[in-house]
Copies of this chain bind each other. A is one copy, B any other.
C-alpha cells in the first residue's frame, strides 16, 4: 500500500504560513501553491487546527495562520495530526489460530515493527518547521 501524501502537503501548508509570519493566508492562495483544490487544503487545516498547530480567522480578510512559532512545531506533531495509519499494517485476513505460527507471528513481529516505527518518529520529533523554512530559503538561494 502506498503511503499517504497528506503529511507532505501539510508541511507545505505550514511552511507557507510560516513565511507569512502571522498574516492570515486564504486557503485558495495555499491551494494555488500546492497545486490542489482549496477544499483539500481546508480539510488539512481543519486537522492541523484540531492538533493546535494552526488557527483560522473567518470572514473577509481571513485565512489560516500558525498557532505557534515555527521552531516550536515539530514534524512529528504534524505527522500525528494527520492521523496516519501505522507504517506496518497487520494482515486483514485472520490467521489460523490452531497453528503455532498463526497464533503467534503477528505479536512477535509487532515488537520489532513498533521499535522501528518509534525510531522513525524520533527522527521526525527532532526536526521542526523552522528548519524546513530555513532550508527552503537556503536551497532557493543556492539554485
| Chain A residues within CB distance 8 Å of chain B | 1-5, 7-9, 11-12, 15-16, 19, 32-36, 75, 84-96, 99-109, 111-113, 115-117, 119-124, 127, 131-132, 135-137, 139-140, 143
Q: Tell whether, in the assembled complex, residue B127 and residue A15 are in contact, meaning their CB atoms are under 8 Å apart.
A: no
Give the residue name and chain of the B residue nearest to A125 (CB): B116
Which residues does chain B contribute within 8 Å of A35, judged by CB atoms? 91, 93-96, 102
Q: How far is the CB of A27 from chain B (nearest CB, A)?
A: 15
Q: How far is the CB of A135 from chain B (nearest CB, A)?
A: 4
Q: Tell whether, in the assembled complex, residue A136 and residue B120 are in contact, meaning their CB atoms are under 8 Å apart.
A: no
Please state the number of chain copies in the assembly: 2
Q: Tell whether, in the assembled complex, residue A105 and residue B1 are in contact, meaning their CB atoms are under 8 Å apart.
A: no
Which residues does chain B contribute within 8 Å of A19, judged by CB atoms? 100-101
CA distance A1 to B89 in the complex (A): 11
* CB < 8 Å neighbour of A112 from B15, B89, B96, B124: B124
Which residues does chain B contribute within 8 Å of A87, judged by CB atoms? 3, 87, 120
Q: How far is the CB of A90 from chain B (nearest CB, A)?
A: 5
Knowing A35-B96, A100-B140 are in contact, say whether A89-B8 is a contact too (CB < 8 A): yes
Give the residue name and chain of the B residue nearest to A123 (CB): B116
Q: How far is the CB of A127 from chain B (nearest CB, A)?
A: 4
Which residues does chain B contribute within 8 Å of A99, judged by CB atoms? 32-33
